[in-house]
């Protein structure tokens, strides 16, 4: 059984009619029995955004056709409540109509904590989608939070039943390559509880991979499909009428979120335009993992595989960084870097 996991996905300001997922990426995903990604935008044509959310991500119903290669989407992230209860319901409806499974969402913590389970080719897999953002409750569906203790018993029970357990986290700090020591602690606890592999998102950077005695943690998969998008004061993302994304590159450019007084374009730096695809080959509860990388070039409408030479260089950097995060002084180093940034 082959499972492929990718990083963050957003349909905000995506040129649906022109955008293409390359044949090489499609073939890679098509070879898997289960493809999993993190959907970070509400699916809705037009809804009023929630006032206390600084940035609002949404995409049209037509964008779902880009996800036809996927089987499961995590909704456990910091954008699922961008458009309130109506946005959550619209997203659920769109995914149900498209025949896509989703996880990490519920009316309360217990419901949101329920894993996605499946059995393919005799291999049983359970996927937990977890986020510390947008917790369920207060009359709106949300995520299970990241309180590990209400999940450990479920993981142990599923392991006893022969399930291979994957946990997909939305955690850490955005726009950094540095792994939070807290994320390392949680990854270790979940693996000790029985999870085989941990995957993460939210930083919009590919972060290091750490091997534990009983499992592995991919702290951040980076961006899989997350195009540049437009902003207007006060950081509301929008679709100006009669304005295409080709025209958008004539606007003032921002590399980070910042107060804007005129319509501006949020452009991802080059290293945020790439993401990992982890291919898991599961057989008799043994696992082999291969990593591939994808990217959206600047001013491009195509998601394609990252060049092999650049992939090797980046993986060498990840390997070096994976050594650094295991050093006893890493927590001290992380706190120093956080203050400097």
Nearest by Cα to 38 from 11, 60, 14, 15 = 11
For the stretch 151-204, pLDDT in tens is: 999 999 999 999 999 999 999 988 888 899 999 999 999 999 999 999 999 999
Query: Is the pLDDT assigned to residue 340 strictly greater than 60?
Result: no
pLDDT band at 101 (very low <50, low <70, confident <90, very high): very high
- Asked if 193 and 147 touch (Cβ cutoff 8 Å), the reply is no
38-54 mean pLDDT: 80
Between CA 277 and CA 130, with CA 134 as vertex, the angle to 5 degrees is 40
Q: Would you state the pLDDT for residue 53?
A: 67
- Asked if 46 and 58 touch (Cβ cutoff 8 Å), the reply is no
Q: Would you state the pLDDT for residue 216?
A: 95
Percent residues over pLDDT 90 in the chain: 57
Q: Would you state the pLDDT for residue 158?
A: 96
What are 262's two structure tokens?
Answer: 């005129």
Tell the CATH topology of 2-228+268-340: Purple Acid Phosphatase; chain A, domain 2 (3.60.21)
Q: Tell me how far apart the alpha carbons of residues 92 and 74 are, in angstroms, rounded to a whole number.
A: 12
Out of 92-101, 107-116, 237-246, pick the least confident: 237-246
140-156 mean pLDDT: 85
Nearest by Cα to 269 from 297, 290, 238 = 297
Answer positive or negative: Cα dihedral of 183, 133, 193, 161. Answer: negative
Q: Where are the domains of the chain?
A: 2-228+268-340
pLDDT band at 239 (very low <50, low <70, confident <90, very high): very low
Three-state DSSP class for 336? helix
Q: Would you state the pLDDT for residue 279?
A: 96
Helices (H), strands (E): how many in the chain? 8, 21
Three-state DSSP class for 39? strand
pLDDT band at 243 (very low <50, low <70, confident <90, very high): low
What are 82's two structure tokens?
Answer: 């961008």
45-67 mean pLDDT: 81
Q: Would you state the pLDDT for residue 306?
A: 92
CB atoms within 10 A of CB 318: 17
pLDDT band at 9 (very low <50, low <70, confident <90, very high): very high
Mean pLDDT across the chain: 86
Bond prior to 126 in cis (omega within 30° of 0): no
Out of 45-49, 127-131, 240-244, 292-296, pick the least confident: 240-244
Query: Is the pLDDT assigned to residue 80 strictly greater than 80?
Result: yes
Q: According to DSSP H, which parts of 40-193 are helical? A: 84-97, 109-112, 149-160, 181-193
Q: Tell me how far apart the alpha carbons of residues 41 and 97 are, in angstroms, rounded to a whole number.
A: 17
Out of 21-35, 86-100, 180-194, 244-258, pick the least confident: 244-258
Q: Tell me how far apart the alpha carbons of residues 194 and 191 are, in angstroms, rounded to a whole number.
A: 5
Query: Is the pLDDT assigned to residue 300 strictly greater than 90?
Result: no
Q: Give me the residue label for tokens 């961006």.
A: 223
Q: Tell me how far apart the alpha carbons of residues 83 and 90 are, in angstroms, rounded to a whole number.
A: 10
Q: Would you state the pLDDT for residue 250?
A: 63
What are 95's two structure tokens?
Answer: 């995914």
Biggest CA-to-CA distance, the chain: 58
41-55 mean pLDDT: 77
Out of 12-16, 67-71, 128-132, 262-266, pick the least confident: 262-266
Q: Would you state the pLDDT for residue 143?
A: 93
Nearest by Cα to 200 from 190, 12, 58, 269 = 190
Query: Is the pLDDT assigned to residue 305 strictly greater than 90?
Result: yes
If one compares 212 and 48, the residue with the highest pLDDT of the two is 212
Query: Is the pLDDT assigned to residue 303 strictly greater than 60?
Result: yes
Q: Tell me how far apart the alpha carbons of residues 146 and 164 are, in angstroms, rounded to a whole number.
A: 20
């Amino acid at each position: 059984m082959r499972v492929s996991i990718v990083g963050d996905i957003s349909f905000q300001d995506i040129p649906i009619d022109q955008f293409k997922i390359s044949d090489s990426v499609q073939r890679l995903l098509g070879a898997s029995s289960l493809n999993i990604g993190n959907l970070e935008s509400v699916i809705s044509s037009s809804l009023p955004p929630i006032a206390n959310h600084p940035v609002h991500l949404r995409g049209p119903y037509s964008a779902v056709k880009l996800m036809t290669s996927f089987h499961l989407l995590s909704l456990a992230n910091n954008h699922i409540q961008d458009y309130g209860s109506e946005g959550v319901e619209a997203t659920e409806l769109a995914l149900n109509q498209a025949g896509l499974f989703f996880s990490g969402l519920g009316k309360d913590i217990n419901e949101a904590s329920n894993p996605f389970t499946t059995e393919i080719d005799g291999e049983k897999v359970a996927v937990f989608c977890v986020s510390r953002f947008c917790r369920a409750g207060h009359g709106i569906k949300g995520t299970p939070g990241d309180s590990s203790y209400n999940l450990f018993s479920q993981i142990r029970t599923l392991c006893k039943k022969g399930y291979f357990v994957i946990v997909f986290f939305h955690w850490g700090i955005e726009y950094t390559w540095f792994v939070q020591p807290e994320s390392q602690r949680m990854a270790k606890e979940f693996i000790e509880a029985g999870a085989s592999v941990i995957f993460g998102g939210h930083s919009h950077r590919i972060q290091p991979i750490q091997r534990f005695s009983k499992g592995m943690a991919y702290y951040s998969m980076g961006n899989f499909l997350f195009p540049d998008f437009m902003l207007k004061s006060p950081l509301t993302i929008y679709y100006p009428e009669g304005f295409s994304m080709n025209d958008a590159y004539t606007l003032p450019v921002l590399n980070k979120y910042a107060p804007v007084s005129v319509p501006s374009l949020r452009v991802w730096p080059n290293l945020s335009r790439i993401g990992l695809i982890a291919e898991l080959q599961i057989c008799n509860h043994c696992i082999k993992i291969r990593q591939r990388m994808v990217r959206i070039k600047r001013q491009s409408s195509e998601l394609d595989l990252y060049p092999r030479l650049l992939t090797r260089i980046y993986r060498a950097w990840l390997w070096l960084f994976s050594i650094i995060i295991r050093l006893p002084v890493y927590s001290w180093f992380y706190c120093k870097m956080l203050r400097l940034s």
